[in-house]
Amino acid sequence: MRFDVFTLFPEAFDWYLGQVHIRAAVDLGHEFVLTNYRDHTPLSHLQVDDAPFGGGAGMVLRIDVVCAALEAAFGVDAECVKDDRRVVELTPKGRQLDDELATELAGGDLVLLCGRYEGIDERVTHLVTDRVSIGPYVLSGGEIAAMATLDAVTRKLPGAISNPDSVVSESHAPELDGGAEYPHYTRPAEFRGWEVPEVLRSGHHAAIERWRAEQVRKR
Ligand code: 6GU
């Protein structure tokens, strides 16, 4: 699978893309490509944004700049990029990311468009298949939302995580009926008088399974 992220701040992804599970995905043949809108702007002075028509605060990322960046990355008309992949605008106005949407987005190549300032010119709707938000609050830009989306989607790729059981049993997966995962404990068995439930130390696997299932139900 190929992931493309369009941003004015590619360096914001340096730490994230160096993480072990991303490198593991790359080793499996997946690709992560960052494109800086500014590197492809058709405007002079590396301009990428402009004042909003109708007035108001802030600046808006220009649609001609977004098109030029898409065309530079894919070598086809910007409107055609969505013909063979999901193209997502990250915006607080979008569909909220959840486990189901992450699974959907893992189904093929993916483009993430990050906005800054007041966002991207509304005509970006001609270029995208989806508008995605990571929650009911406003961030200063799409980069953190793009990383959250990449992270949730990358975990869905077959073989991307060394212990696949740890994905199936994760919180919010349909296998858990959308419920939260059971609680985890590790050593020490007792700390400041706070004890690990006895059953988990019993070595009785059937009892442990029952206890965990019960915890999931309670949550
Ligand atoms: Cl995707 N972008 C911004 N700017 N703010 C957000 C968001 C996205 N999702 C939640 N808040």
Tell whether 114 and 34 lie within a shared domain.
Answer: yes
| Tens digits of residue pLDDT in 35-67 | 999 999 999 999 999 999 999 999 999 999 999
Torsions phi, psi of 135, nearest 5? 160, 170
Protein residue whose Cα sits closest to atom 3 of ligand 1: 139
> What are the tens digits of pLDDT across the range 22-31?
999 999 999 9
Collect all residues with Cβ–Cβ distance below 8 Å to 20 and sequence separation of at least 6: none
The fraction of the chain above a pLDDT of 90, given in percent, is: 87
The pLDDT value recorded for residue 157 is 94
Specify the pLDDT at position 180. 64
Top mutation candidate among 5, 61, 134, 143 for ligand 1, by most atoms within 8 Å of CB: 134
Q: Which residues touch 95 (CB under 8 Å, ≥6 apart)? A: 101, 130, 131, 132, 133
Predicted pLDDT of residue 60: 96
Number of domains in the chain: 2
What is the atom index within ligand 1 of the atom nearest the CA of 134? 9
Q: Is 52 found in the same domain as 128? A: yes
> What CATH number should be reported for the domain holding residue 57?
3.40.1280.10
Range of 16's domain?
2-154
